[in-house]
């Protein structure tokens, strides 16, 4: 069944303009949706989009198409699925058009609703998240299996339990073998700092990451939200510590918007507050030039650029260098917007994968370590390093793992 | 003790008995000899000639002929079989757990008033009782089933027995009889059999196969597998879900409805090992499996296994093989 | 054109399977159920037929509460009607029983085509599709990969798969039961919001099991496999495993 055959129905409803009216009516009902009307067609969005060159409809052209009453062209376009939700366009728009969160998300929602043109890998990720609470399709009962290898006690809070800090581990940190060592590192750091913490264990489900991975799948986010706040409500805690910037964004922005304000911080922010203590403990040197990659969800979306750098500077031997595109100008690793599942799809339509561009940029600064704070980046940059032939010259390391090494906590955990 | 009759319903394609038929005969023969029962190989065909003088492991061969039995039409078989099986006083009927056998099981079970047991990997007789062993739930569970009453129908999984044991030294007597039922006005009419379009690779003729299962996750991830296959002088094949997604053509599919292969090396990557797949490759010389799940049934048929991330392993493996070849 | 699709709930093997105390069945509390994959394909094929030539699709699910979820998903995908036949957990894998229950329940509805998966993951018996055909005295072809219907609705043309990648093209007189192996397209996506909405507005016609009910075969013993001859597991990380594999291959002269 092609996109063509199902879109025939749209045209049968009258002029193509009707479908556009319907789309715009939906947009206008949403907060900030009316900003779509304020677009001045300056092209800042298209210019700052890292994949704009591969899109038949760049963000600016998408709005132009809407104005011409041609939303069907957008429904047929593959550009919608190339968006990595890096937020560059929205960040730079001079009139504040919510491109990522309204325009792209709205178009995706329409296509997801029709079951048309949806890349099957993305479909599978949504179905697995819906069923198992994680996009990998692994058993929800195995979500906290990683704690067996932690080497320190990781308290699992049952209903009625309390702790000062609730540590939200996240899907990647829990299940992905390449990220588990970093999760374990963080567990050991929290232990060393005597933090009274606990995790939800198997009651934790994907945060939903509405604005990024789950663009257009509000229903899924809704179900996960309700499950998660019910589980959170059963425990007593003062603040939430999140390992994953995607989950951090979900809690900080969306949960708050939906009526559940939480005192939440990303682990780099949490630890940066304790920087002097960490600096005292960090006795082991990591002598290297380190470039920090600002993740989109922590950086552009939530404005946190300094905490990770503060942490890196507590490590003796580390010399921070900056990539040309740093902080709000950082180049996305290419894993957002569901693109983490769409590598095949995206790579067939673009030239150089974003992750490869980024690691080459890091290597050019002379950095030996590319430090990151988002678990998606570990496999993406590691693979890009191999494909770019930079193996041996550049290493990807999660900040928690580097800190734990500096404090001498990484024994028995494979590097 | 009255010797019971075991009847194997043969499958054939293009005038040749399929491998599963020989496996069924091997199973039947072993069972029958253990309790003094007899084996009949039952062939429904339009022409008995291709099946003459075959040294099959059976006490007798019965060929039922009719022009309407010239193609694998399930309705034709369903009309003829119950009568013939009753006539042969069958006590145990063995069908292949294949696309042909599964079609027949339901109607036959009803017409004979006998239970049908699918997914059998083992069949034995204890005195007058039959005990079947079946695999279910993607191979993760094994069930022992003892059908009550007289007649039972068992569907045998391909690859469960050695087809070589389905042949003996001598040729059993053959009897040809006409179909007891007319095959006019069947509700199913066989139009044609479409052979698969062979592209450049015939996976049944390749020495080294790299099998892509669901764990490969995306079409793009096939590229490193192709590179590995090239390094080893082999080809990439796939399980059904991968082919259903359109990542590889159906000619690369290994398993029940795809190809049966026996390469020197079968490297199963991200393959769970469900019986529908393993029946197509379990006779391979060396089977190495990589799957994140240590309980994946593939490890029951593999010689070696690992639970590392296959996407991490493949490029490294390709490199090391290159290195090793370079040093030669 | 009235098409019915039968959806069965089977144990989800992603979760660990736990044997019940009786040693011959699965522990009810531990089992997570999922719609049988081949039945998902049957639903997809039905929806494709509906989009091509119109008609009504009725989803019939056998099971308990989780079967209601399957019906809501089917309706969200485009099924017009939902029927639930309640079947106790311990009998859900018994296709002989299911066929004896569904047969009478579906006979009077006058379906032109009944689609269901050609096999189910938890199957030990002849399979629902063929048995249902017998109860309804309808022709049956299994292993179907595609269906097309004549405009008159009197016949259907199916492609049935045979070993070796071959396809048998057959003409089937309707009404008929078809055992679907896989649909022409992978099962379509339906967003969670649509499923939730379908759940809220779902109108299910419930049908109880008629009695007395026929019983099929039962296992005398059920065990988890993987005890005997297992693979020798290679320890270590990807690099170490790769090294060991190369060594094994070179020992055998394969690399």
Sort out which chain A residues have CB atoms less than 8 A from B220's CB and list them.
Answer: 343-345, 347-348
- Topology of the domain covering B5-178: Rossmann fold (3.40.50)
Which residue in A174, A196, A192 sits closest to A183, CA to CA?
A174
The Cα–Cα gap between B157 and B73 comes to 21
Q: Does A139 touch chain B (CB under 8 A)?
A: no
Please give the C-alpha separations between residue C140 and each of C39, C42, C158, in angstroms, as whole numbers: 16, 14, 11
Please give the C-alpha separations between residue B14 and each of A403, B18, B193, C165, in angstroms, as whole numbers: 68, 9, 10, 14
- pLDDT tens for the 415 residues of chain A, in order: 344 444 444 444 455 678 999 999 999 999 999 999 999 999 999 999 999 999 999 999 999 999 999 999 999 999 999 999 999 999 999 999 999 999 999 999 999 988 888 888 888 899 999 999 999 888 999 999 999 999 999 999 999 999 999 999 999 999 988 899 999 999 999 999 999 999 999 999 999 999 998 988 999 999 999 999 999 999 999 999 999 999 999 999 999 999 999 999 999 999 999 999 999 999 999 999 999 999 999 999 999 999 999 999 999 999 999 999 999 999 999 999 999 888 778 877 888 889 999 999 999 999 999 999 999 999 899 888 877 889 899 999 999 999 999 999 987 654 4
The residues of A whose Cβ lies within 8 A of any Cβ of C are 1, 5-6, 109, 112-113, 115, 118, 120, 123, 126-127, 130-132, 137-139, 141, 216-220, 222-223, 414
How many folded domains does chain C comprise?
1
Model confidence pLDDT, tens digit, residues A248-279: 999 999 999 999 999 999 999 999 999 999 99
Q: Does A341 touch chain B (CB under 8 A)?
A: yes
The chain B residue lying nearest A341, using CA atoms, is: B218
Sort out which chain A residues have CB atoms less than 8 A from B221's CB and list them.
Answer: 343-344
The Cα–Cα gap between B214 and B272 comes to 8
Give me the phi and psi of A72, to 5 degrees please.
-60, -35
Q: Is residue C72 part of a domain?
A: yes
How many interchain CB pairs under 8 A, A with C?
53
Q: Report helix angle C65-77 to C192-201, nearest 10.
A: 120
Q: C185: distance to nearest CA of chain A, Å? A: 8
- pLDDT for A222: 95
Mean pLDDT of the C53-69 span: 92
CATH for C111: 3.40.50.620
Tokens of C50: 């509906």
User: What's the domain range around C152?
Assistant: 2-207
Q: Do domains B5-178 and B203-327 have the same CATH topology?
A: yes
CATH of A121-271, one of 3.40.50, 1.10.287, 1.10.1740, 1.10.3470: 3.40.50
All partners of chain A with 3 or more CB pairs under 8 angstroms? B, C
The chain B residue lying nearest C120, using CA atoms, is: B137
Hey, is C36 helix, strand or coil?
A: coil
The residue with tokens 């132009």 is A64
Hey, is C202 helix, strand or coil?
A: coil
Mean pLDDT of the B250-272 span: 89
- Domain ranges in chain A? 3-118, 121-271, 275-406
Contacts of A37 (CB under 8 A, 6+ apart): none
CATH of A3-118, one of 1.10.8, 1.10.1060, 1.10.1330, 1.10.3210: 1.10.1060
Q: Do domains A121-271 and A275-406 have the same CATH topology?
A: yes
The residues pairing with B268 across neighbouring beta strands, listed in sequence order, are B211, B289
- pLDDT for A12: 47
Which residue in A216, A226, A249 sits closest to A376, CA to CA?
A249
Question: From the centroid of its chain, how far is CA A360?
Answer: 21
- B304 and C234: CB-CB below 8 Å? yes
Sort out which chain A residues have CB atoms less than 8 A from B315's CB and list them.
Answer: 386
- pLDDT for B1: 62
Model confidence pLDDT, tens digit, residues C80-95: 999 998 888 888 889 9
ipTM of the complex: 0.89
Q: Is residue C240 part of a domain?
A: no
Q: A325: distance to nearest CA of chain B, Å? A: 28
- Topology of the domain covering A275-406: Rossmann fold (3.40.50)
- Domain ranges in chain B? 5-178, 203-327
- A347 and B220: CB-CB below 8 Å? yes
Cα dihedral sign for A136, A142, A143, A146? Answer: negative
- B308 and C238: CB-CB below 8 Å? yes
For B83, the enclosing helix (H) or strand (E) is helix B74-87
Q: Domain B203-327: give its CATH code.
A: 3.40.50.1220
Mean pLDDT of the B268-294 span: 90
């Amino acid at each position: 069944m092609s996109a063509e055959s199902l879109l025939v129905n749209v045209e049968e409803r009258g002029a193509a303009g009707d479908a556009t009216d319907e789309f715009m009516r939906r947009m206008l009902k949403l907060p900030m949706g009316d900003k779509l009307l304020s677009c001045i067609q300056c092209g800042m969005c298209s210019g700052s989009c890292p994949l704009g060159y591969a899109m038949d409809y760049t963000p600016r052209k998408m709005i132009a198409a809407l104005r011409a009453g041609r939303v069907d062209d957008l429904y047929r376009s593959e550009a919608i699925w190339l968006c990595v939700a890096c937020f560059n366009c929205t960040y730079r728009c001079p009139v504040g058009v919510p491109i990522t969160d309204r325009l792209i998300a709205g178009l995706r929602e329409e296509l997801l609703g029709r079951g048309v043109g949806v890349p099957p890998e993305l479909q599978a990720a949504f179905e697995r998240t819906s069923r198992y609470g994680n996009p990998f399709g692994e058993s929800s009962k195995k979500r906290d299996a990683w704690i067996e290898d932690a080497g320190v006690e990781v308290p699992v809070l049952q209903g009625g339990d309390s702790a000062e800090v609730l540590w939200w581990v996240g899907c990647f940190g829990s299940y992905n073998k390449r990220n588990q060592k970093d999760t374990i590192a963080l567990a050991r750091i929290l232990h060393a700092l005597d933090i009274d913490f606990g995790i939800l264990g198997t009651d934790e489900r994907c945060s939903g990451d509405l604005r990024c991975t789950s663009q257009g799948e509000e229903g899924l986010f809704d179900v996960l939200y309700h499950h998660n706040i019910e589980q959170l409500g059963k425990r007593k805690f003062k603040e939430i510590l999140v390992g994953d910037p995607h989950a951090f964004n979900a809690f900080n922005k969306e949960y708050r918007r939906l009526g559940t304000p939480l005192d939440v911080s990303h682990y780099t922010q949490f630890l940066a507050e304790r920087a002097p203590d960490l600096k005292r403990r960090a006795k082991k040197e990591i002598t290297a030039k380190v470039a920090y990659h600002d993740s989109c969800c922590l950086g552009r979306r939530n404005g946190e650029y300094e905490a990770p750098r503060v942490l890196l500077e507590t490590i003796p031997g580390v010399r921070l260098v900056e990539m040309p595109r740093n902080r709000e100008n950082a180049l996305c690793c290419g894993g957002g917007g569901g693109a983490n599942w769409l590598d095949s799809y995206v790579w067939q339509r673009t030239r150089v994968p974003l992750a490869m561009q980024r690691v080459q940029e890091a290597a050019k600064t002379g950095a030996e370590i590319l430090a990151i704070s988002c678990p998606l980046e570990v496999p993406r940059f590691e693979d890009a390093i191999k494909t770019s032939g930079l193996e041996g010259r550049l290493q990807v390391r999660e900040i928690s793992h580097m800190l734990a090494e500096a404090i001498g906590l990484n024994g028995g955990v494979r590097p | 003790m009255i010797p019971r009759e075991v009847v194997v319903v043969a499958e054939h394609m293009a005038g040749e008995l399929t491998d599963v038929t020989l496996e069924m005969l091997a199973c039947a023969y072993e069972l029958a000899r253990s309790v003094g029962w007899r084996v009949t190989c039952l062939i429904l065909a339009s022409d008995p000639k291709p099946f003459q003088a075959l040294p099959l492991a059976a006490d007798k061969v019965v060929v039922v002929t009719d022009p309407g039995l010239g193609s694998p039409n399930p309705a034709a078989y369903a009309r003829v079989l119950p009568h013939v099986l009753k006539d042969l006083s069958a006590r145990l009927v063995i069908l292949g757990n294949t696309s042909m056998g599964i079609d027949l099981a339901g109607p036959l079970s009803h017409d004979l008033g006998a239970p049908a047991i699918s997914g059998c990997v083992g069949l034995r007789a204890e005195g007058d009782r039959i005990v079947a062993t079946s695999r279910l739930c993607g191979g993760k569970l094994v069930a022992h089933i003892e059908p009550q009453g007289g007649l039972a129908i068992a569907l045998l999984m391909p690859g469960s027995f050695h087809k070589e044991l389905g042949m003996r030294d001598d040729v059993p007597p053959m009897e040809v009889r006409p179909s007891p039922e007319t095959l006019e006005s069947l509700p199913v009419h066989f139009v044609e059999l479409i052979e698969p379009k062979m592209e450049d690779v015939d996976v049944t003729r390749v020495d080294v196969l790299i099998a892509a299962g669901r764990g490969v996750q995306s079409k793009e991830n096939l590229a490193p597998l192709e590179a590995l296959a090239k390094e080893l002088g082999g080809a990439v094949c796939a399980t059904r879900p991968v082919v259903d997604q359109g990542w590889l053509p159906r000619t690369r599919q290994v398993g029940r409805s795809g190809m049966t292969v026996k390469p020197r090396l079968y490297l199963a990557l991200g393959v769970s090992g469900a019986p529908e797949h393993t029946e197509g490759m379990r006779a391979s010389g060396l089977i190495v499996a990589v799957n994140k799940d240590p309980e994946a049934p593939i490890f029951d048929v593999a010689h070696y296994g690992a639970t590392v991330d296959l996407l991490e392993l493949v490029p490294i493996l390709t490199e090391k093989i290159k290195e090793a070849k370079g040093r030669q | 054109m009235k098409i019915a699709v039968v959806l069965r709930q089977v144990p989800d093997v992603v979760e660990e399977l736990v044997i019940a105390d009786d040693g011959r069945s699965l522990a009810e509390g531990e089992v997570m159920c999922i719609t049988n994959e081949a039945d998902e394909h049957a639903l997809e094929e039905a929806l494709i037929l509906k989009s091509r030539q119109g008609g009504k699709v009725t989803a019939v699910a056998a099971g308990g509460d989780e079967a209601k979820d399957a019906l809501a998903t089917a309706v969200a995908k485009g099924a017009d009607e939902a029927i639930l036949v309640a079947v106790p957990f311990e009998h859900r894998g018994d296709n002989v029983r299911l066929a004896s229950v569904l047969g009478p329940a579906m006979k009077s509805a006058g379906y032109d085509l009944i689609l269901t998966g050609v096999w189910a993951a938890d199957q030990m018996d002849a399979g629902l599709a063929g048995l249902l055909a017998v109860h309804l005295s309808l022709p049956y072809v299994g292993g179907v990969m595609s269906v097309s219907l004549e405009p008159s609705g009197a016949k259907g043309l199916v492609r049935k798969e045979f070993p070796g990648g071959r396809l048998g093209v057959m003409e089937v007189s309707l009404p008929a039961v078809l055992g679907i192996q896989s649909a022409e397209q992978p099962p379509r996506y339906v967003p969670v919001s649509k499923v939730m909405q379908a759940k809220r507005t779902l109108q299910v016609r419930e049908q109880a099991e008629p009695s007395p009910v026929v019983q099929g075969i039962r296992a005398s013993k059920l065990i988890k496999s993987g005890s005997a001859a297992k693979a020798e597991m290679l320890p270590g990380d990807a690099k170490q495993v790769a090294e060991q594999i190369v060594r094994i291959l070179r020992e055998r002269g394969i690399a």
